[in-house]
Amino acid sequence: MKLQIFKKKYVVGLDIGSSSIKLVQCIKKENRLQFIKADFRKIQTNDDFLLRDKEIVSALKSLLIGIDIREAHFISSINCPKTAIRKVTVPIMPKNELTDGIRLAAQSYFPFPIESAMLDFEIVNEFVEGQVKKYQLLVAVSSQKTIDRYLSILRKVGVEPRSIIPVPYALQKLAEATSSATDQAKCLVDIGEQFTEAVIYPGTGQVSAQAEKAALSGSKKSLLLYRKILIAGNNFTKALTMALISEKGKVELSYDEAEKLKQEVGLPPENEQRIIDGKISTVQILSMVRQPLKSLADEIGRCFDYYSRETGGEKVALLELLGGGAYLKGLNRFLSEELGINVRVGDPLEGQKIDFDKVGPSLKENSSQFAVAIGLTLTEDEGINLLPLEIKEKIKRTFKRSIIELISVGAICIIIFVLIGMFIHLENVRNRIEVANRELSSLQHQLKKIEMQNLINKILVDKPYWGDVAKELSNIVPDHIYLTRLSMANKMLRMEGIIMAEEKEKIISDFVSVLENGIFNNVKLVSIQEMKNRNKDEFELTCFID
């Protein structure tokens, strides 16, 4: 099997929406995202699932051009009427019983049956309520049929996703990444073609004591609120296709005309009066879309009210619009007036260090529509993942094999390095032995010429005790010192010799001490000098004989 562990890994966020597919490819580098690619493809809304899936596959193939699928971790969003995420409270129980317990408790939290739905959860808090220990969980569910359909589509383009994640969970991760320490609660609203997802995130700033109490264990995560709203971009388009009777007769726009009008004109100000394409006035446009606009504002307002009740009066300070619907002209102005809150088009790149060299300015200029895809790249492996259990287990087994391969390669590298080190050390020892042998050979010739008796016979033959001096020297001269010359003048003995050892200073010092303890006194080291061969030093000593 080809080892892939040391190769570069990319993260690809894949947001498969109702009217478009967004793709973001990046590398995580410490505290920054380096974007490699950001692109999207429009797809036609079609009630025929076979034709629609065929179009999605074609769009995906186009988006994946230039991406090495084997080297990328794909994280896909999922959304349908039966995809949702909620906070659920259950008693603490053994882990092998937890999934069944969650499924039983969660039935009262979701507005649709979840018996056969795919389910995953994340433990947010542990707390005690009425002397009963409980878990507060983040539970995500989605239709098994929808997940199987997504997997089938992705496999047709050769993609095995690492995670499938609900859109609100990706928005939560995005909120966490773009919030600063001074942020108050904010609401992220992603307006798609079929659904609007609202997530209220408390930020990382201070919350009131009452809000902390409402949060049970005090974790900010427990203050999160999620809501799926069924008013979305398609409702505005349909509203513009309604027949309208005016002084000029009956006016009725086609779906394509209404979509174009929505994108080019948006929501005109109330005080504006002009005719668009000779067919419809700005006043009429505003009148036709007012009902879905008001419904959307009311639904978001109910989210704010619920959050305020749950947190003991905390207020949402900011509303950020995301997704393709965020660019509807005048929408932020209308919602700000209706809700009495600051509303702006959100920037999912805010607070992040990003390289735009390879993706160009398009990502920065249209970042809001890539919000979910960017949020997907920020999720972690241990979070919520709606992949079927058998696929998760397959991923775990692959990861374990990779770890084993990594350990094996590491062990082999260590052994190789140790062996290389041993060979180098052995070669050094051999070189040192060879040098020592050459030195010993050169000394043999000198040692033969150095005969103590001959030296003694050449000096002061009139001293009757010289035999005792020779005997004393022969007993105390260490192995690494060779005497080459002895002379005496005015009762002072002069010794010259060679030291052959690395610790020269210690050896000569010890030799002086030994001389002092014997028949010699007033021993002095006159000189010590390094010879051309750095392993040998010449020295000269003087002393007196008792």
Assess whether 161 and 227 both reside in one domain: no
C-alpha distances in Å from residue 75, one per residue of 11, 183, 352: 8, 28, 20
Q: Are 293 and 327 in a shared domain?
A: yes
Chunked mean pLDDT (size 10), the chain, 546 residues: 53 92 85 81 79 92 92 92 89 85 85 86 87 89 92 95 93 83 82 92 58 47 79 91 73 86 88 82 88 94 91 89 90 93 88 64 78 90 86 68 65 79 82 76 58 53 61 82 84 86 84 86 87 79 84
Sign of dihedral through CA atoms 342, 347, 352, 357? negative
The confidence score (pLDDT) of residue 462 equals 45
Print the domain residue range for 427.
389-449
Predicted TM-score (pTM) of the model is 0.69
Residue 305 lies in a domain: yes
Alpha helix ranges (H) inside 65-215: 95-106, 144-156, 167-178, 209-214
For 284, 469, 477, 482, 544, the CA distances from 518, given in Å and listed in that order, are 124, 10, 12, 19, 11
Please report whether residue 199 resides in a domain: yes
CATH number of the domain encompassing residue 153: 3.30.420.40
Contact assessment for residue 512 and residue 497, using Cβ atoms and an 8 Å cutoff:
no
Tell me, yes or no, whether 218 and 318 share the same domain. Answer: yes
Same domain, 295 and 161: no
Sign of the Cα torsion 148, 149, 154, 157 reads: positive
Question: How many whole angstroms separate alpha carbon 56 and alpha carbon 149?
Answer: 11
Angle between helices 144-156 and 49-63 (to 10 degrees): 50
For residues 442 and 458, state if they share a domain: no
- Report pLDDT for 60: 95
Decide if 241 is inside a domain. yes
Q: Are 231 and 292 in contact (CB under 8 A)?
A: yes
- Asked whether residue 507 is domain-assigned, the answer is yes
- Evaluate whether residue 21 is within a structural domain: yes
pLDDT of residue 214: 47
Q: Are residues 221 and 250 in the same domain?
A: yes
Instruction: Domain count for the chain, please give it.
Output: 5
Residues 161 and 50 reside in one and the same domain: yes
Count of beta carbons in the 10 Å neighbourhood of residue 393: 11
Cα separation, 144 vs 55, in Å, equals 22
Roughly what angle, to the nearest 10 degrees, separates helices 504-517 and 466-476? 140
193/133 same-domain check: no
The answer to whether 509 and 515 are in contact (CB under 8 A) is no
**In a shared domain, residues 44 and 124:** no
Same domain, 416 and 459: no
Are 383 and 393 members of one domain?
A: no
User: For residue 120, what is the domain's CATH number?
Assistant: 3.30.1490.300
- 160 and 132 in a common domain: no
